Structure 1
Amino acid sequence: MERDVTVEPAVLTELARLRERLPELTGSVLATTDGMVVAHDAHDLDPETLAAMSAASLGLARRFAVAVDHGTLRETVVACAGGYITTYAAGRDALLTVVTGRLANLARVHLEARRTLERLAQIAPSAPTAADPRRSARPSRKDVPGGLARRKPMASLPRNARQKNAG
């Protein structure tokens, strides 16, 4: 479902330049953290699906970072047989996902994507960036809405409770 949103032409230009700098790039999507497409250069990919899945992946990765007390999440990388899907946190409310082929140099992908995020922040200064001052440098468990759920391992439950859950 296409949204009728006006995108700053400079944003689309920046995504096109990212493709020029990374020949292995299959597509890129700039989206909100709730999975809505802001802009994309994803000709053979479904940008809405990519944005929604990226937002879900980023949300989970942020929870991982908080759970192990590793500070603010910068990016997630999904390595597949056919290439990489890398999602970069752009402040609290946005993300950039790039999809590349298997021959991509991941260090170069990181470098170019981070530079693109910086330029996008200059184009639309009101957009959140990785250096968003509204966020603390090291988020804690209290920063995650609803806190982190604690679950009891099945092995520690009484045997009759395990049988009820299994059936």
Structure 2
Amino acid sequence: MDTDTAILAELRGLRRRLPQVTGSVLAGADGLLITRDLNGADADSIAALAAATLGLGRRFADTAGHGDLQETLIHGSHGQVGLYAVGTRALLAVLAAAQVERDLLHRHARQVADQVGELLRARPVTNVPDPAPHFLDNRAPLAVRTPMATLPYNPALPRRRF
């Protein structure tokens, strides 16, 4: 089984194990979509927003002196979104129903994030420079953390391939 298929199987397995999960998105640290198991939502926008939110959460935890960010959970009136770091190069956004048990969601989503992290570690990035060192350095100037000039222009919302 190739890496892309194995990653998608992990995302689909999360939804099977936890029926309150309505979908998930795997994105690069730069916010570009890697893959998704999602119906009826804009996966590209979720990927970009998840990267921005996780970056802010990391900055907030660091500024508050609370150590490394473990996850971010967003509660909405109709559901929840959990954001989990997947190594240093990616993140997992998990969309779930409002009534999902938080500890159960975190346990299953963290397992998937760890498994996907192992799969990604085995396969190098092929088409976009890795922004992870700057993305993780909260003290670097914003222009350094997001090297947009190094990314190739693609008006069709480029997808990061691992």
- Fold conserved (TM > 0.5)? yes
Preserved contact between residue 81 and residue 102 of structure 1 (Cα < 8 Å) = yes
Query: Hey, what does 1:14 align to over in structure 2?
Result: 10
Displacement after TM superposition at 1:75 (Å): 0.7
Q: How many residues align?
A: 132
Preserved contact between residue 87 and residue 117 of structure 2 (Cα < 8 Å) = no
Give the one of 59, 81, 88 matched to 2:84. 88
Query: Hey, what does 1:145 align to over in structure 2?
Result: 140
Q: Alignment RMSD, CA only?
A: 2.4
- Moved >3 Å (runs of 4+): none
- Structure 2 vs 1, CA of residues 29 and 113 (structure 1 numbering), >3 Å: closer, same or farther? same
Displacement after TM superposition at 1:122 (Å): 3.0
Secondary structure class of the residue paired with 2:121: coil
Structure possessing the higher radius of gyration over alpha carbons: 1
Q: Deviations over 1:141-164 (max 9, x none)?
A: x753228xxxxxxxxxxxxxxxxx
1:79 has 2:75 as partner:
yes
Preserved contact between residue 7 and residue 39 of structure 1 (Cα < 8 Å) = no
- Structure with more relative contact order (C-alpha pairs < 8 Å, separation 6 or more): 2
1:109 has 2:105 as partner:
yes
Query: Hey, what does 2:54 align to over in structure 1?
Result: 58
Amino acid of the structure 1 residue aligned with 2:45: T
Uncovered stretches (5+) of structure 2, i.e. residues with no partner: 125-131, 143-162
TM-score by length of 1: 0.71
Preserved contact between residue 37 and residue 48 of structure 1 (Cα < 8 Å) = yes
Secondary structure class of the residue paired with 2:10: helix
TM-score by length of 2: 0.73
Give the one of 26, 32, 57 matched to 2:28. 32
Aligned-pair identity (%): 36
Preserved contact between residue 18 and residue 116 of structure 1 (Cα < 8 Å) = yes
Amino acid of the structure 2 residue aligned with 1:29: V
* Distance in 2 separating the partners of 1:11 and 1:34: 19
* Distance in 2 separating the partners of 1:66 and 1:31: 22
Matches within 5 A, 1:128-139: none
Uncovered stretches (5+) of structure 1, i.e. residues with no partner: 1-5, 129-133, 148-167
Preserved contact between residue 36 and residue 52 of structure 1 (Cα < 8 Å) = yes
* Distance in 2 separating the partners of 1:96 and 1:121: 10
Preserved contact between residue 3 and residue 120 of structure 2 (Cα < 8 Å) = no
Preserved contact between residue 7 and residue 38 of structure 1 (Cα < 8 Å) = no
* Distance in 2 separating the partners of 1:43 and 1:9: 18
